[in-house]
Every structure is written in C-alpha cells, then in structure tokens.
Amino acid sequence: MPELLIRNADVVVTMNATRAELAGADIHVRDGVIQAIGPGLAVAGAEVIEARGCVVTPGLVNTHHHMFQTLTRAVPGGQDALLFGWLRTLYPIWTRFGPEEMFVSTQVGLAELALSGCTLTSDHLYLFPNGSRLDDTIAAAAETGLRFHPTRGAMSIGESAGGLPPDTLVEREGMILDDMIRVVDQFQDPRPGAMMRVGLAPCSPFSVSRELMRDTALLARDKRVMLHTHLAENDEDIAHSLAQFGCRPGQYAEELGWTGVDVWHAHCVKLNSSEIELFGRSRTGVSHCPCSNCRLGSGIAPVRAMRDARVRVGLGVDGSASSDAGNLIAEARMAMLLQRVARGADAMSAREALEIATLGGAQVLGRDDLGSLEPGKRADLAIWDMSGVEAAGNWDPVAALVLCGPTRVRNLIVEGREVVRGGEMLTLDLPKVLERHRRLAQRLAG
Ligand SMILES: [Zn+2]
C-alpha cells in the first residue's frame, strides 16, 4: 500500500490521553497505520494530501443505525407518530423488502455517513423478509470501504403472540440462533485493524423472548462478539417493561447478562440514576441518538449524568426512518445542544461532543486500535475544510467544527485509503446508486 502524508493541517485533533491539538502538523500513514504526527515530516514517494485551512479529526464512529430504512424516509403515516405507532406504520412496508433493497439502502446509508466524516459504523438489521440476509449489507459495505460492524438483529414475538411486528416479519428463535452462529463464523474478524466485526442484536426486549435475550448473551460470550439492542427509549418502553417483566429495563438487562464491557444499548433516554450507576459500574456502553430522540419525541437522554458516572457513550444517527438524516457530525452538534437545553450552556462543550463522536464511539464498539490519532493507531481520519461559508469568521476552528460546520467532510481516510475526496465518494458511483435507490423507493411506495 502506498504511503500517505497529510500535510500542513491547521489543527490535528488527536484525542490522545492529553487531548492534544497540534497546530501546523503533518500525519504520516503506512499500511493503514499512523506512523508519526508532527510538523515538517518528510516521506519520500508518499502520496500527499494538502490540509492547509483544514481541521483533521479521528474518523467519526456511528454506533447505531438501521440502514435499510434509507428507503423509507419521511413516510407520511410515520412522520408525527410516537415510537410504537411509527413502527406499526412502517412494518407493512418493510415486509416487501428483499436482498436488493437491503444492499442498495446500505450503500446509500454508508455514503451518507462517509460524507459526514464517519469511518466506522455499526448497523442493526433486525428483519429478514423475502430471503434478505445480513450478508447483503456486508457486501454493500465491502464496496464502500468503510469499517463495518453489522449486527445480526432479530424479532420473534409477532402480533398473534401479543407483540408489535406482523407475524410475517418475525423468525423462529432456533433459526435466529443458527443464523447468528453462521454470520459470526463466516464474518467475524477479531484482529486489530479489522474492517469487519459482527455483533448479536435482538431488536428490543419487547420483540423477543426472555430466553432468546439470555441465549444470545451466552452465545456472544462463547463466540467473543458484542451484544447490542434498544433499551429504555421512551416512557412507553418503561411502562411496557414494568408491565411485562415487572422491572425496569436496566434490571431486566442485568438479569439476562446484558451488561458489561461487551454490551452497548441504543437510546437509554429513560435510564434512572441507579441504572446509570449500574451501567457505569459494569462499563456497559450507550449509543446516544439525539436527533432520533427529538424526532420521535422520546426525550433528552441523561448524557451528562452518564458521562459523569463513567458510562461509555458514543453517538448514533439511528435509522433513516426516525432521524431522518444520517449526518454524524450534525448529530454531534445536536448532542451538545440537547444537554444544554436540559442542563444549561456549560453542560457539554463542543470538544466533549467531538470526543463522544470519535473516541467515545470507538470505545463503545470495543476498538482500542482506533478513535484517536496517534502513532500505532489505524489511519481512520476526517479532513474538514474550515475555509467555507459555514465556519467563516470563527476564532476557534475545533469548536467551530461542532458549533458551526461544515457538515460535509473534504477528505475521508479509512485504514489509510481515501474514501472521500473533495467532498465526493471515490469508492461508489453515487449518482448511479441513488438512481437505483430512487427506483426501489418508488416501487415500495407503489
Ligand atoms: Zn434504532
């Protein structure tokens, strides 16, 4: 692989142990790994990316998404509904998806993330109609060049058994576990620098049985992969947990083995103080999805309290039917703003939001090989041009990136390879992908 030299960045935001910000610095990359960072580096024969006028950050990390939903954005019946009503509107549409819908929708979701500075994303696919498989999304990610942590989701309690989804969208629990084993054996890569790691992810405690939650946790520990689900998303969710399980979501999770450093839960808007203490003590991770929480009126997640309790927190754009945008740097701004709505202007700084978006996400996904820019770490980084109209006149480019913009990256590097250049995807013919995506969306809309 050719060597890469990123030269003359106005600021390199390292996110290292001292959170150093280096002015006028270069970054030398070889074989997908950062070799050196500092001023005046000289590397004969390296490909050079000029970064004058730019802020360079670690690549942003997205810890929660449902990329298939890029085909069902702004669906009229779901625009103004709460979570459960929103789901009931969308389930019948999703029953018509197949492998092509999964593949193309994932390509679009990944491109949208890449253009907003994301180098590593997880995805939570929990329905597999008409022969769809997790493999469809994995094939899409391999083409785009982003680092990918797909999770094998599941729903097993359909309408006839008192659940929310139609019976056609649920699977038998034995088949779910078999397919979980298949995808882990086929795709999991535990090595440092892995481009692909698989997680296990029943959709939510209310869409699978207690036994499947427990068995999935046992399987994940046996296979050494991570666990993910939705938890404590809104008031309905808490009420359901109390009525159905006789306890709060945090206690349910703990009883079934769903706490620990290998677990991360999406949303957690309604965790109370003892659940926050539990997650901090057990090092359980949280994917904070501020725009989705606003869009569905779920509330403001207690991120300040979580961070103070040493809960590991990353950001998630959540599915494109409930966000509906999948712009990760915009999500960092919303995370910062929401804590200020709840707790005042000093509740979260722009730099802390940027830390959650980068290092925080990497920690939540169990990646100690990336998330900061330091020699020895994987070369996943975003180059932001601060000379445009969005940040014009700023006195502090690092804070301005979150407070002002831009919201589109200039260059994006994953494992030392350029995925975005000049604000355009290099790895995909995006106009062609969007045309195919548009035709599929039209077909679904009938
Ligand atoms: Zn979600």
pLDDT tens readout for residues 367-393 = 999 999 999 999 999 999 999 999 999
> pLDDT tens digits, residue range 168-209?
999 999 999 999 999 999 999 999 999 999 999 999 998 999
Residue 333: is its pLDDT beyond 70?
yes
> 193 with 241: CB under 8 angstroms?
no
Predicted pLDDT at 311: 98
Nearest to 57 by CA among 355, 334, 382, 313: 382
- DSSP letter, residue 205: T
CA 155 to centroid of ligand 1, rounded, Å? 13
Question: Ligand 1: distance of its center to the CA of 323 in Å?
Answer: 10
- The rounded Å distance from CA 67 to ligand 1 centre is 10
Whole-number Å distance, alpha carbon 318 to ligand 1 midpoint, is 5
pLDDT of residue 44: 93
pLDDT for residue 36 is more than 70: yes
Neighbours of ion ligand 1 (CB under 5 A): 318
- Spatial CA neighbour of 359 closest among 10, 3, 16: 16
What are 233-254's pLDDT values in tens digits? 999 999 999 999 999 999 999 9
CA distance 289 to 306: 14
Task: Tell how far the Cα of 200 is from the centroid of ligand 1, in angstroms.
Answer: 14
Report whether 200 contacts 244 (CB < 8 A).
no
Q: Output the average pLDDT for the chain.
A: 96
**What is the distance in A from the centroid of ligand 1 to the CA of 231?**
9
CA of 142 to the centre of ligand 1 (A): 23
What is the distance in A from the centroid of ligand 1 to the CA of 305? 22
Q: Ligand 1: distance of its center to the CA of 88 in Å?
A: 15
pLDDT in tens, 68-124: 999 999 999 888 888 778 888 999 999 999 999 999 999 999 999 999 999 999 999
Q: What's the pLDDT band for 322 if we cut at 50, 70, 90? A: confident
| Residue ranges in 190-255 assigned as alpha helix (H) | 210-223, 235-245, 249-255
13 alpha carbon to ligand 1 midpoint, in Å? 30
Does the model's pTM come out above 0.95?
A: yes
Ligand 1 centroid–CA 72 distance in Å is: 14
Mean pLDDT in residue range 60-75: 96
Is the pLDDT confidence value at 272 over 70? yes
Q: In angstroms, what is the span from residue 311 Cα to ligand 1's centroid?
A: 19
- What is the predicted pLDDT for the residue at 342? 97
Give distance in angstroms: CA of 396 to centre of ligand 1: 34
CA of 372 to the centre of ligand 1 (A): 26
The residue type of 297 is G
Task: Give pLDDT, residue 1.
Answer: 64
Cα(330) to centroid(ligand 1), Å: 17
Q: Which two tokens stand for residue 284?
A: 């359980």
Cis peptide before 205 (omega within 30 of 0): no
Position 339 scores a pLDDT of: 98
CA 442 – ligand 1 centroid, Å: 24
Burial (0-12, 13-18, 19+ Cβ within 10 Å), 84:
middle
Mean predicted confidence (pLDDT) in 307-329: 94
The answer to whether 445 touches 94, Cβ cutoff 8 Å, is no
| Percentage of residues of the chain with pLDDT beyond 90 | 93
Q: How far is the CA of 123 from the centre of ligand 1 (A)?
A: 9
Among 16, 12, 19, residue whose Cα is nearest residue 51: 12
Q: What is the pLDDT of residues 133-158, one digit of tens each?
A: 999 999 999 999 999 999 999 999 99
Report CA(266)–ligand 1 centroid distance (Å): 7
